A and B are shown apart, each in its own frame.
Chain A
Amino acid sequence: IAGITQAPTSQILAAGRRMTLRCTQDMRHNAMYWYRQDLGLGLRLIHYSNTAGTTGKGEVPDGYSVSRANTDDFPLTLASAVPSQTSVYFCASSDAGLGGADTQYFGPGTRLTVL
């Protein structure tokens, strides 16, 4: 069982380019999340999806879009990358349901540099 995987591991991207970060989980979790981690700012939620077919905005959604066509995949797209999007991106999933502990399982991260 792989758990949750992300691709690519790292990427250097020219400003203005389009980029999709991939995330796949094999745990059949209903909820999935995208965070960015920046030094001194901790983890910030970009977008989330409570179930396949639905998505929502997190704390820092501008410049990013997501889709959730099925349970397993939750890609994050940067339509036109800017240097301020240089960060480490983590995908996570959980199967809390309502009222339970929301244990989140994290992928290994994608290190993105926008020049």
Chain B
Amino acid sequence: GEDVEQSLFLSVREGDSSVINCTYTDSSSTYLYWYKQEPGAGLQLLTYIFSNMDMKQDQRLTVLLNKKDKHLSLRIADTQTGDSAIYFCAESIWGYQKVTFGIGTKLQVIP
């Protein structure tokens, strides 16, 4: 079955880069996602990557996918206090309308 794992907590200083890591178990995964949850709010999609890609960049966000190791990472450049949130890794499989979420990584940005 599908399983998505993430570390629980990451603390960085404002202006540094943040790297949030995720591993998944299902090699059939087609799309991999990063969602952001701010306090008291629902999840919001940040970005996603198709499984035949290695990297995707969108402004301060860089997603790296290592299919061999089933490892996904989200790098946030020049981390700001507004980036403090919980970040969820998720996966879905082609043909199935089901998304499996990780437990979420809480990012704390220290001014």
Query: Which residues does A use to contact B, with CB under 8 Å?
Result: 4, 31, 35, 40-43, 45, 48, 50, 90, 92, 94, 96, 98-99, 101-109
Enumerate chain A residues within 8 angstroms of B103, measured Cβ to Cβ. 40-42
Closest to A50 in B: B97
How many A-B pairs with Cβ below 8 Å? Answer: 58
Enumerate chain A residues within 8 angstroms of B40, measured Cβ to Cβ. 108-109
Within 49-102 of B, Cβ neighbours of A (below 8 Å) are at 50, 88, 92, 94-95, 97-99, 101-102
Query: Which residues does B use to contact A, with CB under 8 Å?
Result: 31, 33, 40-45, 48, 50, 88, 92, 94-95, 97-99, 101-104
Q: Judging by beta carbons under 8 Å apart, are B31 and A102 in contact?
A: yes
Enumerate chain B residues within 8 angstroms of A107, measured Cβ to Cβ. 42
Enumerate chain A residues within 8 angstroms of B31, measured Cβ to Cβ. 101-102
The one of B43, B95, B104 in contact with A104, judged by C-beta atoms closer than 8 angstroms, is B43
Given known A31-B97, A42-B103, contact A103–B41 (CB-CB < 8 A): no
| Alpha-carbon distance A98/B92, docked complex (angstroms) | 11
Enumerate chain B residues within 8 angstroms of A94, measured Cβ to Cβ. 97, 99
Q: Judging by beta carbons under 8 Å apart, are B101 and A103 in contact?
A: no
